[in-house]
Amino acid sequence: MRLGTRFSAYLQVAPLTLVFVGFLVFPLLAIVVVSFWDYTAYTMVPTFVLTNYRDVLLSSVTYTAYVNTFKYAGFTWFFTLTIGFTVAYFLAFHVRTFIWQLILFLICTVPFLTSNIIRMISWVPFLRRHGIFNSTLQAMGLISEPLEFLLFSDFAMVLAFVHLYTLFMVIPIFNSMMRIDRSLLAAAADCGASDGQVLRDVIIPLSKPGMAIGSIFVVTLVMGDFITVRLMSGGQSASVGLMMMNQIALLQYPAAAANAVILLIVTLLIVMAMVRIVDIRKEL
């Protein structure tokens, strides 16, 4: 009998395990193996060399790219968290009826009906030198020369990231907030807590798992991004993902694989740190 339940438990996890082994573990192992291969201009040479890792770790580009990537991730995380928290707070505590919560929540997701590349490049005509924003400011007489920093800059990149990823913060934070027992808020108020105290001592601590999940989404998405960085910086900035992209375009797969392994380790460390600070299992 006991053996039977154990067997059926294994059987139950088998499909998902197989999918993970086939489509996650195996490709990852392949990347790790290839990262130790050598390469020429047109071929990969199956051998065991450490040159790829040496090239990555000893190159100043790697550090510049990581500093850049951390910077983009940091700014994006800060703004998405601030905006995401505010939107979720409004939805969860200020919108009283369930039906309106649902309607407003769906409105938040509308932009996701279009491709994120489209949403990104639609900033280009808006922000460029003779674009809508600059010509409006000029017509209003606020500026005499077009603002050049708006496009092909770090500003443009962070703006696009925030625009693309804020919803990934809104959803988990909203979810956490909806689980907060409303009687806790009433109890806090009864004990004389001000609105600010309720927010700081009750809502924020209880929303932490949602914030952590949202942060994991946003940070990992930004860490691995290459297309937003390329399009919004006008190709003038490098992120780790873009470095890999350049290598792949030139058939330097082993070098890209070594880069990918290091990025994976760095990103996993960040996620582990987040999970250590906040116990997201409460959420699941």
Interaction site with another protein (CB under 8 A):
41, 55, 59-61, 64-65, 68, 124-125, 128-130, 148, 151-152, 230, 233-238, 242-243, 246-247, 249-250, 252
Smallest distance from another protein to CB 252, Å: 7
Smallest distance from another protein to CB 39, Å: 8
Q: Closer CB to another protein, residue 77 or residue 152? A: 152
Number of H helices, E strands in the chain: 15, 2
Q: List Cβ neighbours of 210 (8 Å cut-off, separation of 6 or more).
A: 88, 172, 173, 174, 175, 176, 177, 283
Report the C-alpha gap between 86 and 96 in whole angstroms.
16
Q: What is residue 145's three-state secondary structure?
A: coil
Q: Closer CB to another protein, residue 65 or residue 185? A: 65
**Strands, E, within the chain: which ranges?**
38-39, 44-45
Q: Closer CB to another protein, residue 29 or residue 250? A: 250
Q: Closer CB to another protein, residue 22 or residue 235? A: 235
Report the C-alpha gap between 72 and 154 in whole angstroms.
8
Smallest distance from another protein to CB 130, Å: 6
Smallest distance from another protein to CB 67, Å: 9
Smallest distance from another protein to CB 55, Å: 7
Q: Closer CB to another protein, residue 78 or residue 126? A: 126
Residues forming a β-bridge with 39: 44
Q: Which residue has the tokens 């350049």?
A: 246
Q: List Cβ neighbours of 123 (8 Å cut-off, separation of 6 or more).
A: 151, 156, 159, 160, 163, 232
Report the C-alpha gap between 77 and 73 in whole angstroms.
6
Q: List Cβ neighbours of 201 (8 Å cut-off, separation of 6 or more).
A: 188, 193
Smallest distance from another protein to CB 165, Å: 23
Q: Closer CB to another protein, residue 212 or residue 232? A: 232
